Chains A and B, each alone.
Chain A
Amino acid sequence: MIFLISFTPFQPTFGLAFWSLVIFLLFWALMAKFAFGPIADALQKREHDIQGSIDEAKKARQEMSNMKAENDKLLAEAREERTLMLNEAKEQKNKMIAEAKEQAKAEATKIMQTAQAEIESQKLAAKQSLKAEVGTMALDIAEQVIRKDLKNDSSQVDLVNNLVSNLKLN
């Protein structure tokens, strides 16, 4: 009990109670208004700002990746189109070449046929005119043979040979 009697820190006193109350309430009020309140608000605002920035960055990144995907898609499409176009062109070319060949062939055949027909008809005409000429020539030769009187055999032979060599085939 002697301990408790002089244990002054554990004896409640009016003055300390009064001043503790006054000082703590003042401290609370002033700190809430001028320090803790503004700090809490500032922290909250900053956190919101940071969160907002993070969200925005995330959004921007998302957008960018979206754009990139679109670009890739476009590129792929373009590439495909190009391939398609190239293939088409190649086909067209082949087709054109084939067609041209075909046409050329046909033309050539036609030309050949015309040429053949011409040759045939020329040949025919030539044969005709040769026939006519041969007749005339034979008549001429015979006329000259007859006119020279057939002096000797050798001269006869030379004459014929001469005549034959003069014979122009066309």
Chain B
Amino acid sequence: MQMVQAQQSNTQDLKSATQHQLNHDHSGHDHSGHDHSGHDHSGHDHSGHDHGGHDHSGHDHSGHDHGSHAGHGHDSHSSGPCGHHDGPYDPTGTAIHHISDGNVYSILDAIRIPLPTFLYAPDKGWDFFMSSKFHIGHHEDGHMSYNGYVMHHGSAYRVVDAGFPMEGSVAHDCFTKKTVKDAKGKDKDINYVMYNGKEYKLDARSTFDAGLLGGGITSFYDYSISKNVLSMILVALLLFFLFRKAAKAYTRNPNSAPSGLQNVLETVFMFIRDEVAIPFIGEKKYMKFLPFLMSIFFFILGLNLWGQVPFLGSTNVTGNLTFTMVLAIIVFIVVNINGNKDYWKHIFWMPGVPVFVKPVLAAVEGLGLFIKPLTLMLRLAGNISAGHIAILSFIGLIFIFGDIFGGIGGNVAGTFMSIPLTMFMMALEIIVAFVQAFVFTILTASYIGAATEEHEHH
């Protein structure tokens, strides 16, 4: 609304107005009624669309135009911001949406399993509820708010506008997005929810990237059992069940040859033990680290494969940087807690090199200490996310062809292109699932091996 004001008064004030909006002056909304009084849209029915239109035209003038908003100019009264669904297929948005975490577990955009949602805001405390309170619909956007929270693209957002009803549930309209420049000149997306014809600003999702990846400090924290968390729990339980069954078979018939499930798991187990744990850590110490390596390998493998099962939500846990970061931190801690004297000596005062080289090597090795887990984290997330995006892109061909050639014919042509490509990609992704789990485990084993290695020659 500040944008509109700025447009009407003086374009020279645009910059300050944008910053004003970033600072989020709530009083700006109080003036919106006055600004639009001349447009005859004071009613609460669908006039909100036109308000959105004003805001977008403001963007056009300020040069921050966003591709998806191009059709929502000031003069086009035919479609407001809530007519968003009619736009052409957006492959990027769809792919990103599908590989993201969410507060609802959707299968084929038809079955929506509500998840427990735990939200904490320092100024108002905890909110515990099921995400079905949001009445989630198409695009995983909610239709109802709950205690000042709304659901947009599968994630819970908090309305940070005093005018919005903060208690109980109210029905709201669609969501709009604006891109503004922040103080450093970076583009920043701000989401709004439409309610009673007015836009109410949403706080960003709760992240802790210090603003590096578009997040920042938010007024609430999302501790929900999200789609990824549910997948983790299910995979962990499934693996526990399978391995428990195998372990029982060993204790029941310790001297009989393995068969069935026990045989399959044993083959993989022995492979990790004989090709990863023993060569890298050594015959003497590997038993101490074997459960850790096995946990890492099978947890990652299970989640990789879980995400590849079609029509099961295609969750992207191992492609999520948060998850891989946690694993990498655990690896970092396990490696360095077990580091012996030689390990630290090799990092900070490398033996066998001239003294003037030692500080240089110490700096390099010190950096390497942190780069190792960082690469673990990025490699796994990147590979798995890339696989998901590739598959989604090939499936997206169906809709892209539909858009290009129009109607069912295009869709059919796209389907014929899409099926072999998607099948090929899925086969590849099954290999990637194993390879990435293996790579993560073998690198972890090599770091542990380096940290616990005995040097006799110094």
User: Do A and B originate from a single complex?
Assistant: yes
Task: State the A residues within 8 Å of B (CB).
Answer: 1-21, 23-28, 30-32, 34-40, 42-46, 49
Q: Are the CB atoms of A32 and B295 closer together than 8 Å?
A: yes
Q: A8-B101, A18-B223, A31-B243 are in contact. List 15 more A-B contacts (CB 8 A).
A: A5-B187, A6-B214, A7-B213, A8-B96, A9-B320, A10-B381, A12-B215, A25-B330, A27-B240, A28-B295, A32-B291, A32-B295, A35-B243, A38-B247, A42-B247
- Interface status of B239 (Cβ within 8 A of chain A): yes
Is there an interface contact between A19 and B292, defined as CB atoms closer than 8 Å?
no
Q: Is B347 an interface residue (CB 8 A)?
A: no
Taking a contact as CB atoms under 8 Å apart, the answer to whether A16 and B320 are in contact is: yes
Cα-based distance from A149 to B159 in the complex (angstroms): 205
Which residue of the partner chain, among A9, A12, A27, contacts B316 with CB atoms under 8 Å? A9
| Given contact pairs A10-B381, A16-B101, A23-B233, A31 touches B326 in the complex (Cβ within 8 A) | no
Please state if A39 and B247 are interface contacts (CB–CB under 8 Å): yes
Query: A40–B66 contact, CB under 8 A?
Result: no
Judging by beta carbons under 8 Å apart, are A16 and B323 in contact? yes
Q: With A12-B209, A13-B322, A19-B232 in contact, do A36 and B327 touch (Cβ < 8 Å)?
A: no
CA distance A130 to B291 in the complex (A): 137
Among the 9-residue stretches B53-61, B200-208, B366-374, the one with 4 or more Cβ atoms under 8 Å from chain A is B200-208
Chain A minimum-CB-distance residue to B117: A15
Is the pair A8, B188 in contact by a Cβ cutoff of 8 Å?
Answer: no
Q: Please state if B322 and A17 are interface contacts (CB–CB under 8 Å).
A: yes
CA distance A29 to B99 in the complex (A): 29
Q: Fill in one digit per residue for B233-261: 1 if any A CB lies within 8 Å of its CB, else 0.
A: 10010011001101100110011000000
- 20 sampled A-B residue pairs with Cβ under 8 A: A5-B214, A6-B96, A8-B205, A9-B96, A11-B205, A14-B221, A15-B222, A15-B223, A16-B229, A17-B325, A19-B228, A19-B229, A21-B326, A24-B327, A24-B330, A28-B295, A31-B291, A34-B247, A36-B269, A46-B254
Once the chains are docked, how many angstroms separate the CA of A28 from the CA of B244?
A: 13
**B354 proximal to A (CB < 8 A):** no
Question: Given the complex of chains A and B, what is the CA–CA distance between A38 and B225 in angstroms?
Answer: 31
The listed residue (B239, B265, B273) touching A40 by CB distance below 8 A is B273
The listed residue (A2, A39, A49) touching B179 by CB distance below 8 A is A2
Interface residue B100 (Cβ < 8 Å from any Cβ of A): yes
Asked if B229 and A12 sit within 8 Å, CB to CB, the answer is: no
CA distance in complex: A49, B250 (Å) = 14
The reply to whether A39 and B240 contact each other, CB–CB distance below 8 Å, is no
Determine whether the beta carbon of A31 is less than 8 Å from that of B295: yes
The docked-state distance in angstroms from the alpha carbon of A147 to that of B101 is: 184
Evaluate whether A42 and B254 lie within 8 angstroms (CB atoms) in the complex, with A17-B326, A35-B244 already known.
yes
B108 at the interface (CB under 8 A from A): no
Q: In chain B, what residue has the closest Cβ to A3?
A: B92
Bound-complex Cα distance A34 to B250 (A): 12
**B interface with A by C-beta (< 8 Å):** 66, 92-93, 96, 99-101, 118, 153, 155, 179, 186-189, 205-209, 213-215, 221-226, 228-229, 232-233, 236, 239-240, 243-244, 246-247, 250-251, 254-255, 265-266, 269-270, 273, 287, 290-292, 294-295, 298-299, 316, 319-323, 325-327, 330, 381, 385
CB neighbours (8 Å) of B92 from chain A are 3
Q: Which residues of B contact A11 (CB under 8 A)?
A: 205, 207, 209, 213-215, 321-322
Check A9 against B226 for contact (C-beta < 8 Å). no
Query: How would you classify the secondary structure of chain B's contact residues: helix, strand, loop or mixed?
Result: helix
CA distance A26 to B299 in the complex (A): 12
Contacts A10-B381, A15-B118 given; indicate if A27 touches B236 (C-beta within 8 A): yes
A42 touches B251 (CB 8 A): yes
Rounded to whole angstroms, the CA-CA distance of A25 and B153 in the bound complex is: 30
- Chain B minimum-CB-distance residue to A12: B322
A-B CB contacts (within 8 Å), total count: 183
Asked if B189 contacts A5 (CB within 8 A), the reply is: yes
A-chain residues with CB within 8 Å of residue B316 when the two chains form the complex: 9
Contacts of B320 in A (CB 8 A): 9-10, 16
Asked whether A36 and B291 contact (CB < 8 A) given A3-B92, A6-B93, A17-B322, the answer is yes
Prevailing SS type, chain A contact patch:
helix
Nearest chain A CB to B9 CB, angstrom units:
29
Name the A residues within 8 Å of B223 (CB-CB): 14-15, 18-19
Per the bound structure, the CA–CA distance linking A11 and B101 in Å amounts to 10
In the complex, the answer to whether B225 meets A5 with C-beta atoms within 8 Å is: no
Give every chain A residue within 8 A of B153 (Cβ-Cβ).
8
Knowing A20-B322, A36-B294, the reply to whether A12 touches B287 (Cβ < 8 A) is no
CB distance from A26 to the nearest CB of B (A): 7
Determine whether the beta carbon of B207 is less than 8 Å from that of A13: yes
Which listed residue, B189, B228, B319, touches A6 by the CB 8 Å rule? B189
| Smallest CB separation, B92 vs chain A (Å) | 7
Contacts of B118 in A (CB 8 A): 15
10 A-B pairs closest in CB distance: A32-B291, A35-B243, A42-B250, A5-B214, A8-B100, A20-B326, A19-B229, A36-B291, A15-B223, A28-B295
Q: Which residues of A have CB within 8 Å of B251?
A: 38, 42
Complex Cα distance, B225 from A28, in Å, reads 20
Is B255 within 8 A of A49, CB to CB?
Answer: yes
In the complex, how many angstroms separate the beta carbon of A36 from the nearest chain B beta carbon?
Answer: 4
Contact at B236–A23, with CB atoms within 8 Å? yes
Q: Check if A24 sits within 8 Å of B326, measured CB to CB.
A: yes
Contacts of B266 in A (CB 8 A): 39, 43
Query: In the complex, A9 Cα to B378 Cα: how many Å?
Result: 12
Q: How near does chain A come to B327, taking the closest CB pair, in angstroms?
A: 7
Q: How far is the CB of A32 from chain B (nearest CB, A)?
A: 3
Contact B250 A38 (CB under 8 A): yes
| B222→A35 contact, CB < 8 A | no
Inside 8 A of B247's CB, which chain A residues have their CB? 34-35, 38-39, 42
* Complex Cα–Cα for A17 and B228 (A): 11
A19 touches B225 (CB 8 A): yes
